[in-house]
Structure 1
Amino acid sequence: MSDTNTNTTTTQQLASPARYSLWQLVCYMLALGSCGFGGPVALVGYMYRDLVERRLWISESDYKEGMALAQLMPGPLAAQLAIYLGYVHYRVLGATLAGIAFVLPSFLMVLGIGAAYVEFGGIAWMQAVFYGVGAAVIGIIAMSAYKLTSKNIGRDKLLWAIYLVSAILTLLTQSESVWLFLGAGLLVWLLRVPPKRWLGGRLHGVAAVLPLAAVLAAASSQWDLLAQLGAFFAYAGSFVFGSGLAIVPFLYSGVVTEHHWLNDRQFVDAVAVAMITPGPVVITTAFIGYLVAGFWGALVAALATFIPCYLLTILPAPYFKKHGKQPGIVAFVDGVTAAAIGALTGAVLVIAQRSITDLVTALLALATLVVLWRFKKIPEPAIVLVAALLGLMLYPLLSHP
């Protein structure tokens, strides 16, 4: 009887009309892709703040399901969450348009910067800009991580334990592990939903949320440079788990060490471009592709990176929408969410180690955090712009090479 009620409730929830149009969602994703600074931690925080808390377009449970799916599947976290949120009410069309709208602005920006980089032989001023922006971003993502933690973890001791373990492991290893997310979800599932309630023909549900990346493995090709770029970035998009934090060392080993497409200086500049432009951090793949093979290289690299994450979001999405309200799945998602937020919090500390290099950057990060705490209506892009200007002014005065 309870199963029947659950299924009825789920059907009603699926049938409930959206409180927004598809065009409104596309416009929001375009705006976020154009002005959303701070990397994956900040971007998923913006989506929660804007779509769940302020506009009430997305329910708490749908957001948590999207976060869990994005953490379990390989590829860029924020882009996957945007795709899933598009799927919630508008299915494949919504997922497709939301994903394109989210990625397109930063792709166009990276193309422009790439053209300037090639034309003028490097971007010397970027170090100064990133000096200020990198510090401010720490304050932005720290506030986002705090909001996600306070809202989703609450006073639940089990979720707090998972959260802390995930944060510490991320900090120590400087990477994110899908096995930690899976283990956290299964642990909460086992402890909160006795096996007798879900073993009866539902164990196949676990398989539905396991990574499907192997289906999309891209065979290495030596046809030409574009084929090599496509094969490498498709592999990166299909098998690298976690956020932009995880893909950078993987890209370095392939782009610099293995293929010798870029040198160390160019690769550092590529990562800096991704950090000072809004949208997903992995858009750095488009910049790398542009340096290697011009416009078509950028297009191939971007498509090869994002198509796998798109497929690995919409393929399991129907399962999450159909069965996501069952007690066992809710417990599993709670565990994955706690581990995911813990990993994002650990990532804040990892990024801080690289961006806060002296007293000035420490003060900039602290000032950003205080401003966001006290003046909640100040838009993040305004803070990033001020930080960039401060970087341009202060960096030359501090005798940096």
Structure 2
Amino acid sequence: MRDQHGTNETGAVSGAPRGRSAGVGAARKPSFAEAARVWARIGFLGFGGPAGQIALMHREVVETRRWVPEERFLHALNYCMLLPGPEAQQLAIYIGWLLHGTRGGLVAGILFVLPGLCILLGLSTLYALYHQTGTLSAVFFGLKATVLAIVIEALLRLARRALTTLSSRAIAALAFAALFFFSVPFPLVILAAGLFGLLTAGRKADAGPEVKPGAGAADGARPWRRTLALVALWSCLWVAPLGLIVLLWGAESVFVALHIFFSKMAVVTFGGAYAVLAYVAQQAVETHHWLRPGEMLDGLALAETTPGPLVLVLTFVAFMAAFRVPPPGLDPVVAGLVGGLVATWVTFVPCFALIFLGAPSVERLRGNRMAVAAMRAISAAVVGVILNLAVWFALHVLFASVRQSRFGPLVLSVPDLASFDGAAALLALLAGGLLFVVRLGVVATLAVCAGGGLILSRL
């Protein structure tokens, strides 16, 4: 069975040679320019979410070029899966760091994101200016239905991997109930799951076997002074735009709110973009009024059709927020571009910091039973979080009107049955059939359903 990261139950990457690990005894170090060209290629071809991106990296750096042995690749992947943020981009940073140190990690991480970021900013501009025209509205109508099927597919993949014990299923159910019925903030759900994992770390079934640190773990640990210096450096880089924003546009500008909000999201995005989208959608639509209800689905559809990490959908959210509430005297499109760049900066800077700080001591972290137990509990909670996202998307795709009813602490999203959209349901079924039965790729499925939206609009 393969999980969403392209690995099978034994931990081997899909497509890896059997028997002797790929690259063992044959690893070679590329030149910096050669590596940069490959990272740019991966950045432009990185479609298909983390599974496709990790498989692409494995093919390029392990199987084809043999720059990194199989064991080192899997070692890096295991560490990146423990971190908040997009694991595929963090893996690129890690491999780049292995090959060429800090400059290698920087180039790999930047080139992994840059092509998708440029494309998404361009698409966001077109969306903001023209999305209410008939043709684009019809295209996005088809894309929304596809996104629902894509989220359900991701939910099933993760559930098969994460819900292997009774306690993990209970955690997932409680996480869903807390979010859907009681509107508990997403970060609190993740924190509670992590604390539960720590408290149950002594249970072998939940924590897994103790893994001893590998050779060289102690040697790789950074001196504490250097670690503190790195923490200070990356912390300053993370918050640096905030000072410039206040200086140029004042403390009340939308850019300040975007910087603070997406900085919080950057440290709680365990489980990838799908896990945090429902919370972001709720805050962006209902609390901050940055987006209209259907626009979060449009943004996710745009992110699905571009290369790079899916979490770039946050760039779209920030673009639309700043486009709608630009500072006085600033063109809305320019404001949108600035807002998108602010969200991108605060989302991805922590990825570099976590790799450069943690990679030298990764073996020690892997051998920590409490860390493993906490992450297993968080993974189970993420299933409940993504189920909440799937239900939220389904309600807003299939029904034109959804209202919230409050009964004390209980909050229910109740659709207006008379507003049921049969065309959207038909397209969602088509997308599900293409993904689950025909096994068509995500991008091809999006294209087919976008065409379906155009055809239905003409009928």
TM-score normalized with structure 1 length: 0.69
1:179 to 172, 179, 188: 188
Change (3 A) 1:115 1:130: closer
Q: What amino acid is aligned across from residue 442 of structure 2 in structure 1?
A: E
1:312 aligned partner: 350
| Offset at residue 230 of structure 1 (A) | 3.2
Distance 1:336 1:131 in 2: 33
Change (3 A) 1:113 1:331: closer
Distance 1:253 1:128 in 2: 25
Alignment identity in percent? 14
1:352 aligned partner: 394
8 Å contact kept, 1:236–1:250: no
| Offset at residue 273 of structure 1 (A) | 4.6
- The structure with the largest alpha-carbon Rg is 2
2:339 matched to 1:301? yes
1:126 aligned partner: 136
Change (3 A) 1:334 1:47: farther
1:242-281, Cα deviation, whole Å (9 max, x unpaired): 523322343346865xxxxx8x7xx568646523313432
2:366 aligned partner: 325
Of residues 246-255 and 387-396 in structure 1, the stretch that sits farther from structure 2 once superposed is: 246-255
1:341 aligned partner: 383
| Offset at residue 18 of structure 1 (A) | 9.7
1:188-337 to structure 2, matched below 5 A, reads 188-193=197-202, 216=239, 218=242, 221=246, 223-224=248-249, 228-240=253-265, 241-242=268-269, 243-252=276-285, 256=289, 267=292, 271=296, 273-278=298-303, 279=310, 280-284=312-316, 285-290=318-323, 292=326, 293-294=331-332, 296-317=334-355, 318-319=357-358, 321-326=362-367, 327-337=369-379
Of residues 318-327 and 52-61 in structure 1, the stretch that sits farther from structure 2 once superposed is: 52-61
8 Å contact kept, 1:138–1:365: yes
2:41 aligned partner: 27
| Offset at residue 102 of structure 1 (A) | 2.9
Q: What amino acid is aligned across from residue 249 of structure 2 in structure 1?
A: D
2:151 to 125, 131, 141: 141
- Aligned partner of residue 277 in structure 1, secondary structure: helix
8 Å contact kept, 2:73–2:95: no
Change (3 A) 1:272 1:329: closer
- Aligned partner of residue 200 in structure 2, secondary structure: helix
- Aligned partner of residue 192 in structure 1, secondary structure: coil
| Offset at residue 389 of structure 1 (A) | 1.2
Q: What amino acid is aligned across from residue 353 of structure 1 in structure 2?
A: L
Gaps spanning 5+ residues in structure 1: where? 1-14, 37-42, 71-76, 198-207, 257-261
2:104 matched to 1:98? no
1:74 aligned partner: none
| Offset at residue 334 of structure 1 (A) | 1.4
Of residues 303-312 and 282-291 in structure 1, the stretch that sits farther from structure 2 once superposed is: 282-291
Q: What amino acid is aligned across from residue 92 of structure 2 in structure 1?
A: G
1:66 aligned partner: 80
- Aligned partner of residue 133 in structure 2, secondary structure: coil
Distance 1:370 1:24 in 2: 35
8 Å contact kept, 2:131–2:137: no
| Offset at residue 237 of structure 1 (A) | 1.4
Higher relative contact order (CA 8 A, sep 6+): 1
| Offset at residue 84 of structure 1 (A) | 1.7
Distance 2:114 2:183 in 1: 26
Count residues with an aligned counterpart: 341
Change (3 A) 1:115 1:159: closer
Structure having the higher helix fraction is 1
Distance 2:178 2:74 in 1: 27
Change (3 A) 1:192 1:254: closer
8 Å contact kept, 1:134–1:355: yes
Of residues 144-153 and 240-249 in structure 1, the stretch that sits farther from structure 2 once superposed is: 240-249
8 Å contact kept, 1:128–1:396: no
Q: What amino acid is aligned across from residue 315 of structure 2 in structure 1?
A: I
| Offset at residue 370 of structure 1 (A) | 2.7
